[in-house]
Amino acid sequence: MTNKHMDRTFDSEQGIHTNFKEKMTYGDYLQLDTLLSSQKRLSDHHDEMLFIIIHHVSELWLKLIIHETQAAVAAIKRGDLQASFKMLSRVSKIQSQIIQAWDVLSTLTPAEYMEFRDKLGNASGFQSYQYRLVEFVLGYKTPFILKIYEKDPEVHQMLYHAYHAPGLYDVAIQALADNGFPINPDIVTRDFSKTYEKDETVEQAWMTIYKNVNQYWDLYQLAEKLVDIEDWFQQWRFRHMKTVERIIGHKMGTGGSSGVGYLKKVLDHPFFPELWEIRSKL
């Protein structure tokens, strides 16, 4: 497009605002100065910018996942399953975006990463408190994790609250009980700081729902939204593990974890076990 053509295009848009001396701009609204000045390399290596931006983007997506999932939990608690479906569907779409981020990071080669890895010190994605919040709301809770965040009382308190609060599956099970299914009362009133263990009464409730879809359409939809989220989350974990393996092999992580070994272990943990078990029994 020539400059003359561009000038004619803008001339035809007489309503476009150009004077922002006393008005809020796009950059002001998004606080772009703060956002775009946050990528501070600790080395002079070209690819450190990629490494920082990928993690910044992932943290922003995690923030939205937390925002939507917590709202979905509140909606399910008040019995508004339809409202929760929109939020949970959005979470699944966000997960597809966060998975693709690993494809970009995997363009970083081992030789390139070694040029700035020592600058990270003991900083590691293992310490991402937003990732832990997502795990907590999905029901995966491990007590030693909280110790990592004692340095920041505000973050520690936020995680402590989420650690003891009912997660997404807990409120889904409560919805089963509220709809008349004979759920084991010990499950409904359990200590939510403990990682959920599968229960026969919960499995039987889901089995009934899947065998009578039309009768329990809302609960069936809820179940499938949960399966979507776990499916995408495990795919995210797998891509994470393979990207780490591709870049550093089986070296120890910068945060002291076993790296690929740790990431492989968590792949085997289901969040909503009964929803996977019944697929073999239907």
* Burial category of 127 from C-beta neighbours within 10 Å (exposed 0-12, middle 13-18, buried 19 and up): middle
Task: List binding-site positions for substrate.
Answer: 51-55, 113, 117, 254
The residues, any chain, with a CB within 8 Å of residue 130's CB and separated by 6 or more, are 59, 62, 63, 66
Distances from the Cα of 97 to the Cαs of 49, 91, 104, 132, 215, in angstroms? 20, 10, 11, 19, 34
Task: List binding-site positions for heme.
Answer: 240
Task: List binding-site positions.
Answer: 51-55, 113, 117, 240, 254
Q: Name the amino acid, one letter, at 217.
A: W
Cα-based angle 24, 25, 26 (whole degrees, multiple of 5):
130
The number of C-alpha atoms within 13 Å of 85 and in the hemisphere containing its C-beta is: 12
